[in-house]
C-alpha cells in the first residue's frame, strides 16, 4: 500500500500562486500520498505486463502478415492492442442538449452563487483516447496557450496515403470532440463544455492502464475513457467470440487494481456501441450482454447513451451496449446524452495544404459522446468539494453521488442492465451536497475492519416521496483466469462484500439487485452479493426513526474496507442522522494488518487530518527505531520492510494524546 510523505500544512493551504491554485496543491498532496515503493512497484509490473502483451501481438503479426493493425469505419477508429485468449483485441473509439438534459444549465442559471459559479475553475481531467487532442482548436485557447496539455509528442507528419490520412483524421477528431464536450470554453455556444473553465491532460491509449496510473499519481481525480474493445471490424465481421461479452477481462482487472491503489481517481468508461450488432456477435442473448473489457470493471463508472426523440422525450438509443456482466452486476452504471452531441473536431481539409483548421465542429453520436458529459459533471462536484471542504471526495463517494442523484427515464422504476440507474443529473448532485453540508442529508466516508458493523439512527422529519440510502466502495481487483471466459461461468468477482440494511418497526428493507438472467434481468430487492454499490429506496416513507446498518460478509481482504454512505430524500431535506463517531479522539486510530510483513496501515481520525502528529516505532527493549511525521493525511502507510522479524511498538502522539499498539513483523 502507499506510504504517505509529509509536507508543510501551510504549503498545502497557500499555494494559490501556482497554475491551478489550491486545486494544484491538493493534487500535489495526493501525488505525495501515492509516491511509494509499493505503488511504483505495482505500476512497473503493470507496464511490464502491457509491454509483454504488445510483444506477443508483434510476434503474432509477424506470423500473420494479413493482420490489420489499424483501420477506420465511419466515425470510428480501430487499433490492435494485444492478444487475449488467442484473440486479437482491438480498441475502438466508441452539447447544448447535453448541458440542458444533464442539469448543468440549471446550475448555471440558478440565482444561487454556489451553484452558478461551478464552471470547472482550477479543475483538471485526464483524457485517454485513440490519439492526442488537437489542442490548438480555438475552444481550448487560454491566455495565448492551450488549456489542454499534451503528455506525448504531437506527430506533425501528414500521411500521403488517403487511407492512412483518414485514420489520422478520425482518431484525432474523436479525441478533440471528447475534450470539447468536457472543457470547451463556448466560443460557439452550442459546443460549450460541461466544465468550460477546466483544463485537460491528453494521452494516447497505448499502454492505457499505465497512463491511468500516471494520471492518478499526478493527483488527477477524473479520467475519461471514450473507447473500448471492438466487437466487429470495419467489414462488420465479428472479432470476438461470445464468451468475451460480460467477462472480467484483463482490462477490467487492471482498472480495478489501479482504482483500489489510488482511491481518489475515478475512471469514467464508455459502455460501447454494439447493440446494433447484437444478433451477429452474441446471438443467444437477445440484444443483451454486450459489455467488453474495462466496461466490466467494478470500480469504473460505465456510461450508456440516451437520446431525445421528436417529442422531447428521453429514450434509450439503438446502439448503446447493455449488460449485465457475467456475475449479474448492474452495468452500465449511468446514462447521459449520446446522440447528436455537438463539439469541437479535428479536420485537415487539404492534406497537401499548409495548416490544420482550428475552428471546426460536428455532431457525433455514441457512448463516447455520453461519457465526457459524466466526466465533466464529476469535475463540477469535486470543485464543490474543494471549495466547501478543502479536500476532494474519494472516488467511491463520487460514484455513490452519481447513483444517488440520478433521474429515472420515463417508465423506469429501478435500475436495469441497459442504462443502469438512469440519467446523470448535475443539479440533483449539487443539491445533495448542499443538503448534506446543511445537515438536511448525509454523506460520510468511513471504513470497516474485520468483524465491524456501523449503525446510524436516521430521523425523517418531513413527508417525502422517497428516502434513499446508498453505499459504495472501491473494491479490491478480482481474480483473472481462463475461467473468466467460460460461457455460462457466473463466478462472483466482488472481493469485499459489504451490505446495507434499513430497519423500522420490525421490518427490514433490502437494496436493489438484478435477477440472474442475461435476457430478462429484472430489478428486485434482496441481498446483493455482486455489486460494490448498493442502494435502498423507500417509497412514501413514514416520518420517524430508521436504523441503518453497514456490515460485511466473510473476512475482509487487507483487513479493512473504505466505504461511502449517502442518505437523502427526494426533496433533499428532512433527513437528520444521529451517530456517535463525530468526536473521535486519537485513541480511535486503527492499525492493520497485525502481524505484518512490509507495511502497517494507519487510519487517521478526521479531526486529526490537518494536525501535526508524530509516529514512532520502538523495539521490544524500548529503543527508538523509526520516526514518521504525519501531516494532512487521512491514511498513513508505514513501511516496516527493513525491520528484522520480531515484536515492536508503534506510538502516535498528537497534543496530549497518545495511541500505542504492539505489532509483530514477520
pLDDT tens digit sequence for 577-603: 986 443 345 556 778 788 888 888 887
CA distance 417 to 398: 21
Sorting pLDDT into bands at 50, 70 and 90, what band is 565? Answer: very high
Core vs surface per residue 270-307: b (16+ CB within 10 A) or e: bbbbbbebbeebbeebebbbbbbbbbbbbbbbbbbbbb
Residue 591, C-alpha cell as written in the block: 492499525
pLDDT tens digits, residue range 206-235?
Answer: 999 999 999 998 899 999 999 999 999 888
- Could you tell me if residue 43 is inside a domain? yes
* Total domains present in the chain: 1
Angstrom distance (rounded) from CA 64 to CA 569: 59
Average pLDDT over the chain, rounded to an integer: 86
Q: Provide the pLDDT for residue 35.
A: 53
List Cα–Cα distances, 333 to 291, 304, 409, in angstroms.
Answer: 12, 8, 14
List the grid coordinates of 485: 471466459
Provide the CB-side half-sphere exposure for 532 (13 A, CA): 28
In this structure, is residue 134 part of a structural domain? Answer: yes
In terms of pLDDT, which residue wins out, 253 or 451? 253
pLDDT above 90 covers what percent of the chain? 58
- Taking the C-alpha atoms of residue 396 and residue 266, their distance in angstroms, rounded to an integer, is 8
- Look up the domain containing 39 and give its range: 9-428
Residue 83, helix vs strand vs coil: strand
Instruction: Considering only residues 483 and 446, tell me which one the structure prediction assigns the higher pLDDT.
Output: 446
pLDDT(473) > 90: yes
Lowest mean pLDDT of 106-110, 170-174, 619-623, name the range.
Answer: 106-110
DSSP 614: E
Q: Is residue 386 part of a domain?
A: yes
Residue at 264 is within a domain: yes
Helix (H, G, I), strand (E, B) or coil at 367: helix
Cell, residue 421: 440507474
pLDDT tens for residues 120-158? 999 999 999 999 999 999 999 988 899 999 999 888 777
Say which range, 505-514, 529-538, 608-617, has the weakest mean pLDDT.
Answer: 608-617
Beta bridge partners of 266: 222
> Which run of H or of E encompasses 659?
strand 657-665
- Mean pLDDT for 514-521 is 93
Pairing, β 590-592 against β 575-578? unpaired
Dihedral angle of Cα 637, 638, 641, 644, to the nearest 10 degrees? -150
Q: Rounded to two decimals, what is the model's pTM?
A: 0.82
Rounded to the nearest angstrom, the gap between the alpha carbon of residue 398 and the centroid of all alpha carbons in its chain is: 8
pLDDT at 15: 29
Q: Per the domain annotation, does 636 fall within a domain?
A: no
- CATH number, residue 271: 3.40.50.200
Mean pLDDT check: name the lowest of 352-361, 463-472, 503-512: 352-361
Angle between helices 367-389 and 395-404 in degrees, nearest 10: 110
* DSSP conformational letter for 605: P
Kindly state the average pLDDT of the residues 94-105.
Answer: 67
Asked if 636 contacts 628 with a C-beta cutoff of 8 angstroms, the reply is yes
39 occurs within a structural domain:
yes
Q: What is the pLDDT of residue 374?
A: 97
Q: Which of 92-101, 263-272, 525-534, 589-598 has the lowest mean pLDDT?
A: 92-101
Q: Would the pLDDT of 271 be above 60? A: yes
The whole-angstrom separation of Cα 563 and Cα 532 is 9
Rounded to 5°, angle at Cα 224 from 222 and 226: 165
According to the model, what pLDDT value does residue 14 have? 29
> Pick from 8, 664, 94, 649: which is nearest to 370 by CA?
94
Residue pLDDT, tens place only, 403-435: 999 999 998 999 999 999 999 999 999 999 999
pLDDT at 575: 97
Would residue 548 count as lying in a domain?
Answer: no
Range from 156-160, 324-328, 363-367 carrying the lowest mean pLDDT: 156-160
pLDDT at 5: 28
Band of residue 641 on the pLDDT scale cut at 50, 70, 90: confident
Interacting residues of 401 by C-beta distance below 8 A, sequence separation 6+: 381, 393, 429, 432, 433, 443, 566
185-212 pLDDT, tens digit each? 999 999 999 999 999 999 999 999 999 9
- Written as nine digits, the cell of 336 is 447521459
In a domain, 501, yes or no: no
* Torsions phi, psi for 180 (to 5 deg): -60, -40
More confident call, 402 vs 67: 402
Q: What's the average model confidence in pLDDT over 460-466?
A: 97
DSSP string, 627-639: EEEE-S-SEEEEE
Amino acid at each position: 500500500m502507499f506510504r504517505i510523505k509529509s509536507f508543510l500544512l501551510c504549503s498545502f493551504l497557500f499555494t494559490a500562486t501556482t497554475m491551478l491554485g489550491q486545486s494544484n496543491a491538493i493534487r500535489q498532496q495526493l501525488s505525495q500520498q501515492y509516491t511509494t515503493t509499493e505503488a511504483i512497484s505495482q505500476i512497473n509490473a503493470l507496464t511490464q505486463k502491457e509491454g509483454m502483451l504488445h510483444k506477443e501481438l508483434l510476434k503474432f503479426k509477424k506470423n500473420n502478415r494479413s493482420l490489420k493493425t489499424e483501420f477506420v469505419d465511419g466515425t470510428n477508429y480501430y487499433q490492435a492492442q494485444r492478444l487475449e485468449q488467442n484473440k486479437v483485441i482491438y480498441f475502438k473509439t466508441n452539447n447544448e442538449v447535453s448541458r440542458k438534459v444533464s442539469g448543468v444549465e440549471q446550475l448555471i442559471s440558478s440565482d444561487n452563487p454556489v451553484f452558478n459559479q461551478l464552471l470547472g475553475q482550477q479543475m483538471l481531467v485526464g483524457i485517454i483516447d485513440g490519439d492526442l487532442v488537437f489542442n490548438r482548436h480555438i475552444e481550448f485557447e487560454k491566455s495565448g496557450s492551450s488549456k489542454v496539455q499534451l503528455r506525448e509528442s504531437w506527430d506533425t507528419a501528414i500521411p500521403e496515403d488517403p487511407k492512412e490520412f483518414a485514420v489520422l483524421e478520425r482518431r484525432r477528431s474523436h479525441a478533440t470532440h471528447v475534450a470539447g464536450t468536457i472543457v470547451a470554453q463556448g466560443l460557439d455556444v452550442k459546443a460549450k463544455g460541461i466544465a468550460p473553465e477546466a483544463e485537460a491532460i491528453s494521452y494516447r491509449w497505448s499502454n492505457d492502464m499505465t497512463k491511468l496510473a500516471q494520471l492518478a499519481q499526478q493527483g488527477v481525480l477524473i479520467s475519461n475513457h471514450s473507447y473500448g474493445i471492438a466487437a466487429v471490424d470495419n467489414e462488420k465481421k465479428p472479432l470476438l467470440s461470445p464468451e468475451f461479452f460480460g467477462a472480467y477481462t484483463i482490462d477490467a482487472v487492471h482498472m480495478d487494481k489501479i482504482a483500489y491503489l489510488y482511491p481518489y481517481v475515478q475512471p469514467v468508461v464508455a459502455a460501447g456501441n454494439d447493440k446494433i450488432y447484437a444478433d451477429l456477435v452474441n446471438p443467444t442473448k437477445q440484444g443483451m450482454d454486450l459489455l467488453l473489457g474495462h466496461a466490466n470493471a467494478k470500480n469504473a463508472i460505465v456510461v450508456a447513451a440516451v437520446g431525445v426523440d421528436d417529442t422531447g422525450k428521453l429514450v434509450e438509443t439503438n446502439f448503446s451496449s447493455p449488460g449485465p456482466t457475467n456475475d449479474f452486476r448492474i452495468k452500465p452504471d449511468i446514462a447521459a446524452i449520446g446522440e447528436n452531441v455537438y463539439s469541437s473536431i479535428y479536420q485537415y481539409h487539404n492534406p497537401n495544404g499548409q495548416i490544420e483548421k482550428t475552428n471546426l465542429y460536428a455532431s457525433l453520436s455514441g457512448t463516447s459522446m455520453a461519457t465526457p458529459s459524466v466526466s465533466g459533471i464529476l469535475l463540477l462536484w469535486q470543485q464543490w468539494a474543494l471549495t466547501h471542504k478543502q479536500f476532494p471526495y474519494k472516488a467511491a463517494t463520487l460514484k455513490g453521488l452519481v447513483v444517488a442523484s440520478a433521474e429515472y427515464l420515463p417508465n423506469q422504476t429501478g435500475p436495469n442492465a441497459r442504462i443502469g440507474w438512469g440519467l446523470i443529473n448535475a443539479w440533483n448532485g449539487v443539491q445533495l451536497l448542499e443538503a448534506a453540508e446543511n445537515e438536511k442529508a448525509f454523506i460520510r466516508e468511513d471504513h470497516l475492519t474485520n468483524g465491524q458493523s456501523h449503525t446510524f439512527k436516521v430521523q425523517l422529519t418531513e413527508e417525502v416521496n422517497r428516502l434513499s440510502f446508498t453505499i459504495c466502495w472501491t473494491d479490491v481487483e478480482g481474480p483473472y483466469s481462463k475461467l473468466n471466459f467460460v460461457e455460462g461461468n457466473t463466478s462472483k468477482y466482488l472481493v469485499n462484500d459489504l451490505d446495507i440494511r434499513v430497519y423500522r418497526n420490525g421490518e427490514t428493507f433490502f437494496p436493489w439487485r438484478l435477477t440472474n438472467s442475461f435476457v430478462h434481468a429484472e430489478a428486485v430487492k434482496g441481498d446483493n452479493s455482486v455489486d460494490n454499490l448498493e442502494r435502498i429506496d423507500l417509497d412514501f416513507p413514514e416520518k420517524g426513526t430508521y436504523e441503518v446498518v453497514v456490515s460485511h460478509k466473510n473476512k475482509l481482504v487487507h483487513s479493512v474496507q473504505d466505504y461511502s454512505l449517502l442518505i437523502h430524500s427526494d426533496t433533499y431535506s428532512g433527513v437528520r442522522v444521529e451517530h456517535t463517531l463525530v468526536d473521535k479522539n486519537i485513541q480511535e486510530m486503527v492499525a492493520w494488518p497485525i502481524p505484518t510483513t512490509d507495511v502497517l496501515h494507519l487510519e487517521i481520525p478526521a479531526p486529526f487530518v490537518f494536525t501535526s502528529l508524530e509516529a514512532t516505532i520502538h523495539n521490544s527493549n524500548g529503543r527508538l527505531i523509526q520516526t514518521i511525521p504525519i501531516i494532512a493525511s487521512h491514511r498513513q502507510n508505514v513501511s516496516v520492510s527493513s525491520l528484522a522479524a520480531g515484536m515492536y511498538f508503534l506510538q502516535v502522539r498528537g497534543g496530549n494524546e497518545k495511541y500505542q499498539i504492539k505489532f509483530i513483523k514477520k
